[in-house]
Structures are given as C-alpha cells and as structure tokens.
Amino acid sequence: MVAEPRHSQKMTVEEYLIWSAQQELRYEYIDGDIFAMTGGSIRHNDIALNFYRTLYPHIRQRGCRINVADVKVRAAGNNRYFYPDLVITCHPEDLKSTDFIEHPKIIIEVLSPSTEKYDRTKKLQYYRQIPSLEEYVLVNLEETEVEIYQRGENKMWMYSTYNDGDIIALQSIDFECHIDRLFE
C-alpha cells in the first residue's frame, strides 16, 4: 500500500538506498520521489500468506525464490524500487541477491481500496517495463477474484480473470491451484 510522497525534494538513487536502509518502515522509490508503504489489513495479510504457502512448495522444486512484502524489486534501470506483496524470481543473480530482486518472473499485488487504482494503472505500467516479468497478478481483497496479466509476443499482454470456484493458472511456472485456497 502506498501513501503520499515522503519528501518534497527528490532523492538520488544512492541517497534513497542509504536512507531506506536506516528506516523502520518501507518506502518505494519512483523516479526520485519516495512513498511510504502503509500497513495492510488482516485480510490482506491472510491472502498474501495463503498465496505464499500455496506457491512455496512448487517454487522450491523449480529452484526459484519467492519473497513476501519486505523485499525490494528494482526496475527501470535503477530509477524505481517497489515492494510488491509477493515476488517470484528464477534468475541466478536474484537467487544470490541480498539487497533486491532485479529480474522478477511474477509479481503479485493484493489490492486494497487505497491502492487499487494505482496498482491497476501506474504500477501496471511500471511493472510491464521490466523485461523479465512474465506475469502480473492482482488479487481482489473485497471479493473472490484474481486477475492475471501475461506477457505475450512483442508488446502484447493477455488478460485473464478468475472467480469463485475457478482454478487459477500461472503459466510461466506451470502452476495451478483452486482460487478458494487463496481466500481461506
């Protein structure tokens, strides 16, 4: 979840990285602006953790990595840093990284009323610019619904929506699960 910019003056990437390492809270960095990440609801947390628990055994077998909430994703050649709800990477550099993920395969955001518009518009725009990203997943907090954007050929992105009773599919990692597992 994102709040208003933290500082009225822009920071360089180097200043942000030094500053953010000293903060108790998480802050996203977008082209020089810093945004405080607000806390989520219990339901938001439950859904993110259900997704993590469901994915983890599958991800581990594939030699990939999945992280929840507190891991930065670097995008746009060092001009943007995000904290998605979940991020999956299989890239060798990311598997060794201790600072941030640079080659995400899948990014998952649990929507909340305060961030839904941003996650569907600007964040979708920023994330689609990450060359390694194959799927962007939006999980609706208010109803049983999962939306998946999948990279196609050229600049084409396919869109799928899943609802109560459906089996969701993450094609980039050959994964399927019943949607109800995420909303337990």
In 76-164 the beta strands, taken as DSSP E runs, fall at 80-82, 86-89, 106-110, 135-140, 145-151, 157-163
pLDDT score for 70:
86
d(CA 35, CA 7): 8
Which residue is associated with the tokens 């994330």? 127
Q: pLDDT tens digits for the chain (184 residues)?
A: 444 445 557 899 989 989 988 888 888 899 889 988 877 789 999 999 999 999 999 999 999 999 998 899 998 676 899 999 999 999 999 999 998 999 999 999 999 888 899 999 999 999 999 999 999 999 998 899 999 999 999 889 999 999 999 999 999 999 999 999 999 8
How many CA atoms does the CB half-sphere of 95 hold within 13 Å? 9
Single pTM value for the model: 0.90
Number of H helices, E strands in the chain: 5, 13
Give me the domains of the chain, ranges plus CATH numbers: 40-181 (3.90.1570.10)
pLDDT score for 44:
93
